[in-house]
Amino acid sequence: MESIIKFFDPDKAIVLAFLIITLIVGIIAGRDIKNIKDYTIANKSYSTPVLALTLLATMIGGGTTTGDTAQFFQDGLVYLIPSLAIPIAIFLAAKYIAPKFDNRFDGMISVSDIIKYFYGVKAEVFSGLVGYAVCLGVLGVQFTALGSLMASFLSINYSTAIYTACSLIVCYSTFGGIKSVTMTDVLQFAILIVVIPLVASVAITEVGGLAKVFSNPNLTYHFHILSHPKFDEYIALFLFMVIPLVIFQPHLIQRYLMAQNHNQLSRITYIYSFLSFALIFIVVCMAFSALKLFPNIEPKAVIPTIIDNLLPPFMKGVAISGMIAVIMSTADSSLNSAGILIAHNVFPEKYFNTEIGKLNLMKVSTLITGALGIFISLQNYNIVSLLVITSLLLVSSIGIPLLFGLLKFKVSKESFWVCNLVSIMSFLVTEAIGLQDFSIPIIIALLGFIGFISTHIIQNRCIAFVGSKVPDKKKNIKFNNMQLVKIISKYLPTPKNIYQYSNDKVKRYGANYLMFGIFCCINYVVPYFMWTYQEPTHYLIMLELRIFAGMLCVGLLMKDYWPEKLKHYFPLYWHFTLMYCLPFVTTVMLIILEAHYEWLINLTLSIMLLTMLVDWLSFILISLAGMLFGFLFYELVIGDAILPADFETIYLSIYVCLFASLIGILFARPKELNSEEKLEAMQLFGGAIAHEVKTPLATINMGAQYISLLAQKVMDKKQAISSIAEKDNALKALQETCILLKKASIEGISTVDRLLTSLKAMVIAQDKDEYSIKECLEETIKDFMVSTESLGKVNINIENDIIFYGSKHYIKHVLYNLFSNALKHGGSNVEIDIWSEDHKLYFKDYGKGISKEDLPHIFERFYTKSSKGTGIGLSFCKMVMEEMGGALECRSELGKYTEFILKFA
């Protein structure tokens, strides 16, 4: 009986259920793998929430939870310095790196593909080998941690734990590729996002609340920062880690390549950056709670000890599943990336030419890599040193080169190899002389960085970017002091700059002054009848502040009756009123009433209201100015400001400010930004329509004037038509004019129709069926000739007709757009070649061509460098092809040709 009870232990049952569900989800998600893109980047089919969850699950590994908790437990708050570097680096990556992932990298499936784009095939193979070694090392570490965790908590043999859990990961990762990994990551994130706060909450409650967690008299060492012996070490780590190299890991870049566009990529990176700050707070709370409850345990045992000693049955099983999920989410991502790198970037392509052959090679590579990871974890090798070496190589072979390439430096193969050579030589020298110091990895990476940039400067004679010209050696760059003064003065808060800033923001975002004025007039009266009675020491000052605020709001309501001269200053008045009524008055009242709960509620409402009324930058500036002036007002008018010193009030104030601001960011601002984007698109599209229809309308107007002139001649007796010849000429001119008007009207209608079609956000076709591309092409040329006198020289060679399933109307729109662009940029006599091959239609014109700088952006919505273009045609054309399961690609060389490839499913 005891053995049965032990076998059906609830915690073990929960862990077992989690593992089985993970396997089932992985197998189901990976059933419909059709090609390599499905296996590696899921064909860019996932939405922003799914991508964000898989990225978060991948990055929140054992090092982020167990490792960071151990460091805070051992060193205290000084470890905040390097910890905060990661979310800052991720934020910088979201702002400056993610937007650079544009159409240049369409079709790429690994980080080494990007290296190949910048530095060539040899660099691709080298980075593929290094990336594989790093992924294998990470996999071995994660498998070892997973085996130890399961063996410890479930009281089973270490080898059994390894074979059970790790084989499961290898199974679904090999079978379903990135689709299986992504969906299991989502499941694992759902578990760990519950478990980590749960463990922290239980520990904090056991201690007696946050106030007692951070008020332990035995923790004075853990509160030292500036005087801590590791302060210098952690500052150096911060300066190194704050550079956004952390994202250039193979499995993270693979997530980036899964994104549909750079906007989606920026959003998910920002999400991770903000959540990282919350995760750091949770980790600190767990570490300091453990210091209070279990001061003598090993640092790495903090989370296991909390789970084992504080959680009841069932909850313990959920918590163990969460810790397993943390490890699995990193392990399966590393395994998937390793298999792709070795099969796709290292193994010669000539041995596997078919799609199925390459796909099977990737699966076999993933399986073998998983087996190697299991073998490493069973041998108990000390692979930490190997992981350090490969990680250093990863920085020099992938991190630094990608950073420069993405930032559009003029990179070269020589820079890549010098960077790696310097890094390797530096490592060998430090190992040979036996240097063991925390700064060694930083120095090696820094020397690699110097090697790269030095080679770049020697080759280009300056820091050169793509598209920039190499300067003449004889010319020296001179910087005028007056120019520097002008640049600085542009950002100083002078009256002129403040007025201009305020005016620009109101023009862009508007001012909801009427509703705000009414709301505040009511808000400053009603609370007197609903608040609890108090005896404030400065009642008259409070009353005067409210009266003045009410007067300012009345000024808003009377805005339409202002003198015309004063209306120019309304934006300033509007922003001043917001600053005074919300942050200024709230700050003063909060200090006077010693952060009473009712004014904390008022603070929350003020923050949320301000986020809804102004843009985010104005919110920050107005909030900071209001709080500063409020504090100074209290100091100058009332006396020394005595701020609450108790932990509960400080914590509640920070909590209120943080979450009220987050509510504004997450819910109010996105809606406004979406409205702004739509407004800008409407304005751009309105201008495009006006530009496109101006020519046919001008033709119609000219024709109408000519008809009017002819009619006037017929009606005018003094200029009556006297001869038959004149009559025939007049009739012929009238007939030609009517034909011209008809042609112009067809062109105008066709242009507007094409613009409206291109503006659609999605492709919804009513005529889906099987069609012939040859027939579509012939009809398109016929339609095009109606509105165009000449189509140039068109050579059509379609020996094998392409039969596709899709919309005939939309395919004709795509072809019409390609003809239109060829004539628009290549002239009426441009030569065009059209041919088919392997279910692909090639459309090549020998016109101006497209520059390397513009080529990656031509499929972006509203991107155009031409005054005659709208920037929406090619974007919609690509959408049409992808909706049919195909693709639209472009190759071009400036001044020679432009070739579009229509790939049909």
CA angle 50, 51, 54 (to 5 degrees): 85
Q: pLDDT (tens digit, 9 = 90+) per residue, 502-524? A: 988 888 778 888 888 888 877 76
Percent pLDDT > 70 in the chain is 77
Are 235 and 100 within one domain? Answer: yes
Measured in degrees and rounded to the nearest 5, phi and psi for residue 510 equal 80, 180
Are 99 and 213 within one domain? Answer: yes
CA-closest candidate to residue 325, choices 198, 140, 171, 169 = 169
Are 127 and 245 within one domain? Answer: yes
Assigned domain for 663 exists: no
- Model confidence at 478, pLDDT cuts 50, 70, 90, reads very low
Contact present, 124 and 113 (Cβ < 8 Å): yes
Res. 834: pLDDT tops 90:
yes
CB neighbours of residue 864 within 10 Å: 18
Measured in degrees and rounded to the nearest 5, phi and psi for residue 841 equal -110, 125
Q: How deeply is 222 buried, as exposed, middle or buried, from its count of CB atoms within 10 A (0-12, 13-18, 19+)?
A: buried
Q: Where are the alpha helices (DSSP H) in 294-354?
A: 302-310, 315-340
Are 628 and 702 within one domain? Answer: no
- Model confidence at 350, pLDDT cuts 50, 70, 90, reads low
Assigned domain for 67 exists: yes
Are 118 and 219 within one domain? Answer: yes
Lowest mean pLDDT among 124-128, 801-805, 806-810: 806-810
Q: How deeply is 536 buried, as exposed, middle or buried, from its count of CB atoms within 10 A (0-12, 13-18, 19+)?
A: middle
In this structure, what token pair is assigned to residue 595? Answer: 């952060």
Domain boundary among 378, 404, 426: 378
CB neighbours of residue 124 within 10 Å: 23
Give the pairing of strands 803-807 and 768-772. Answer: antiparallel
CA-closest candidate to residue 739, choices 691, 706, 784 = 706
* Secondary structure of 241-307 as H, E, C letters: HCCCCCCCCHHHHHHHHHCCCHHHHHHHHHHHHHHHHHHHHHHHHHHHHHHHHCCCCCHHHHHHHHH
CB neighbours of residue 845 within 10 Å: 25
Res. 266: pLDDT tops 90:
no
Long-range contacts of 844-848, Cβ-Cβ distance < 8 Å, separation of 24 or more: 844/897, 844/898, 844/899, 844/900, 845/897, 845/898, 846/896, 846/897, 847/822, 847/897, 847/898, 848/894, 848/895, 848/898
* 3-class DSSP assignment, residue 639: coil
Distance CA 710, CA 697 (A): 20
In this predicted model, which residue has the larger pLDDT, 700 or 581? 581
Q: Residue 760: its pLDDT value, please? A: 52
Average pLDDT over all residues of the chain: 79
CB neighbours of residue 312 within 10 Å: 9
Residues 6 or more apart in contact with residue 454 via CB below 8 angstroms: 418
Q: Residue 366: its pLDDT value, please? A: 93
The H-or-E segment that residue 897 falls in is strand 897-903
Contact present, 792 and 760 (Cβ < 8 Å): no
CATH of the domain at 96: 1.20.1730.10
Assigned domain for 470 exists: no
Q: Residue 338: its pLDDT value, please? A: 92
Distance CA 690, CA 34 (A): 45
Q: pLDDT (tens digit, 9 = 90+) per residue, 722-767? A: 555 555 666 666 666 676 666 666 656 655 665 555 555 455 556 7
Q: Residue 382: its pLDDT value, please? A: 55
Long-range contacts of 657-665, Cβ-Cβ distance < 8 Å, separation of 24 or more: 657/603, 657/607, 660/603, 660/604, 660/607, 660/608, 660/611, 661/607, 661/611, 662/274, 663/608, 663/611, 664/607, 664/608, 664/610, 664/611, 664/612, 664/619, 665/611, 665/616
Give the chain's largest Cα–Cα span: 124
Assigned domain for 480 exists: no
* Residue matched to tokens 């919804």: 764
CA angle 328, 332, 335 (to 5 degrees): 140
- Model confidence at 261, pLDDT cuts 50, 70, 90, reads confident
Are 736 and 850 within one domain? Answer: no
Res. 856: pLDDT tops 70:
yes
Assigned domain for 838 exists: yes
Distance CA 397, CA 384 (A): 20
Domain hosting 590: range is: 490-643
Summarize the confidence of residues 353-365 as an average pLDDT: 85
CA-closest candidate to residue 885, choices 770, 771, 774, 806 = 806
Domain boundary among 643, 676, 709: 643
Are 185 and 320 within one domain? Answer: yes
Res. 675: pLDDT tops 80:
no
Contact present, 372 and 213 (Cβ < 8 Å): no
Are 739 and 801 within one domain? Answer: no
Q: pLDDT (tens digit, 9 = 90+) per residue, 773-787? A: 999 998 888 877 765
In this predicted model, which residue has the larger pLDDT, 731 or 224? 224
Distances in Å between the Cα of 15 and the Cα atoms of 153, 191, 264, 325, 802 are 10, 11, 34, 10, 53
Q: Residue 844: its pLDDT value, please? A: 93
Assigned domain for 585 exists: yes
Q: Residue 756: its pLDDT value, please? A: 58
Summarize the confidence of residues 71-86 as an average pLDDT: 89
Contact present, 344 and 110 (Cβ < 8 Å): yes
CB neighbours of residue 133 within 10 Å: 20
Are 811 and 707 within one domain? Answer: no
Q: Residue 216: its pLDDT value, please? A: 67
Are 120 and 262 within one domain? Answer: yes
Residues 6 or more apart in contact with residue 353 via CB below 8 angstroms: none
* Residue matched to tokens 């780590």: 237
Percent pLDDT > 90 in the chain is 11
Summarize the confidence of residues 366-395 as an average pLDDT: 76
Beta bridge partners of 843: 834, 900
Give the pairing of strands 803-807 and 793-797. Answer: unpaired
What's at 751, amino acid-wise?
T
Are 46 and 194 within one domain? Answer: yes
* Residue matched to tokens 């709208």: 870
| Count of domains observed in the chain | 4
In this predicted model, which residue has the larger pLDDT, 856 or 203? 203
Summarize the confidence of residues 663-677 as an average pLDDT: 61
Beta bridge partners of 893: 897
Distance CA 513, CA 560 (A): 11
Supply the DSSP symbol for 468: P
What's at 346, amino acid-wise?
V
Are 184 and 39 within one domain? Answer: yes
Assigned domain for 336 exists: yes
Q: Residue 790: its pLDDT value, please? A: 62
Q: Residue 118: its pLDDT value, please? A: 92
Measured in degrees and rounded to the nearest 5, phi and psi for residue 491 equal -110, 0
CB neighbours of residue 713 within 10 Å: 14
* Residue matched to tokens 């690609």: 889
Assigned domain for 658 exists: no
Q: Where are the alpha helices (DSSP H) in 475-615?
A: 481-490, 495-509, 513-523, 539-557, 564-567, 570-579, 585-592, 597-613
Lowest mean pLDDT among 354-358, 765-769, 861-865: 861-865
Domain boundary among 704, 727, 756: 756
